[in-house]
Amino acid sequence: MNDYTTEDEALDRIRQLWGQYGKFVVILSILVAGSFGGRNLWMSYKHDSAENSSLNYSQLLLAVDQKRFEDAFEIGSEIIKTDTQSSYAELSSLFLAKISFEKGDYDVAKNTLIALIESSSDLNTGNVARERLARILLSEGKADDSQKVLEKSSSMDLTNHLLELQGDIMKARGDLKSALSLYQKAIAKNVLTGQDSNNLSLKLNDIKNNLVRTK
């Protein structure tokens, strides 16, 4: 399971921008692009102590890009400790959750996301963290808990990724008809946006086959 293509794509952009324009344009580009929570984070960025925070955050991005994950974790933890409610702290929390998840430290990843959900004043950031927490819980076989995490927010946009996640949850809970409907909606959104649906199509066909066998 990999729900972190957002960061992966962002890091690709970081590599390109870093060499061309330097760290401050990289940071501004990430915030403006909304890769990690969007417009509200950009608005809060203007109120941060820009120089120190941007330097620390740029070091975090570089450490992640260079796969120096222990250094990245240390830097990110320090940002969260010192900047607390800043946009950089929230972005760092997402990165620390990603690093912990990929290391197999699921409890650390979950606790990091839970803390972010509880502390973030930015709706988009909270929803991103909520969706990722739900994915981790589902990977642990806790489909009911995963569903409860999503149900606690009534403001989450039904993106293709979220529809697919909800389909996965319904499938894990044995509700194949609901899973089928959610996968179909996710594919429809992919068609509108021109995104690939190969993996979704496999899931859809598997559900259809299971439904045929249960008749």
For 125-145, the pLDDT digits (tens) are: 888 999 999 999 999 999 999
Residues 129 and 31 in one domain: yes
Q: Which of 19-28, 48-57, 143-152 has the lowest mean pLDDT?
A: 19-28
Does residue 49 register a pLDDT over 50?
yes
Greater pLDDT, 140 or 9: 140
pTM over 0.95: no
If asked whether residues 147 and 184 sit together in one domain, one would say no
Q: What SS3 state is found at 55?
A: helix
| Residues 115, 117: Cα–Cα separation, whole Å | 5
174/142 same-domain check = no
Cβ neighbours of residue 4 under 8 Å, at least 6 residues apart? 98, 101, 102, 132
Tens-digit pLDDT profile for residues 62-86: 888 888 889 999 999 988 888 777 7
**pLDDT at residue 198 tops 60:** yes
The domain boundary, picked from 157, 179, 202, lies at 157
Q: What is the pLDDT of residues 133-185, one digit of tens each?
A: 999 999 999 999 999 999 887 677 788 889 999 999 999 999 999 999 999 99
Q: Give the C-alpha separation, 67 to 61, whole Å.
A: 10
Mean residue pLDDT across the chain: 80
Q: Which residue has the tokens 């068609």?
A: 191
Looking at 141, 157, 173, which one is the last position of a domain? 157
- Asked if 104 and 210 sit in the same domain, the reply is no
pLDDT value at 111 more than 90? yes
The H-assigned helical ranges of 22-66 are 23-33, 39-45, 50-65
Q: What is the DSSP letter of 197?
A: -
pLDDT, position 84: 74
Average pLDDT over residues 177-200: 92
Residue 24 structure tokens: 């401050």
Residues 163 and 153 in one domain: no
Q: Please tell me whether residues 165 and 83 are part of one structural domain.
A: no
Residue 22: is its pLDDT beyond 60?
no
d(C-alpha 45, C-alpha 86), whole Å:
7
For residues 105 and 197, state if they share a domain.
Answer: no
Specify the CATH number for the domain of residue 46: 1.25.40.10
Same domain, 30 and 109: yes
d(CA 163, CA 145): 17
Q: Indicate if 147 and 169 belong to the same structural domain.
A: no
Band of the pLDDT at 110, cuts 50, 70, 90? very high
Domain assignment of residue 208, given as a range: 158-215
User: What pLDDT is recorded for position 50?
Assistant: 54
Same domain assignment for residues 107 and 202: no
Q: Which long-range contacts (CB under 8 A, 24 or more apart) does 73-82 make?
A: 73/99, 73/100, 79/53
What domain count does the chain have? 2
28: confidence class by pLDDT, cuts 50, 70, 90: very low
pLDDT at 129: 92
DSSP 3-state of 48: coil
The Cα diameter of the chain in Å comes to 64
Same domain, 53 and 121: yes
- 151 and 165: one domain? no
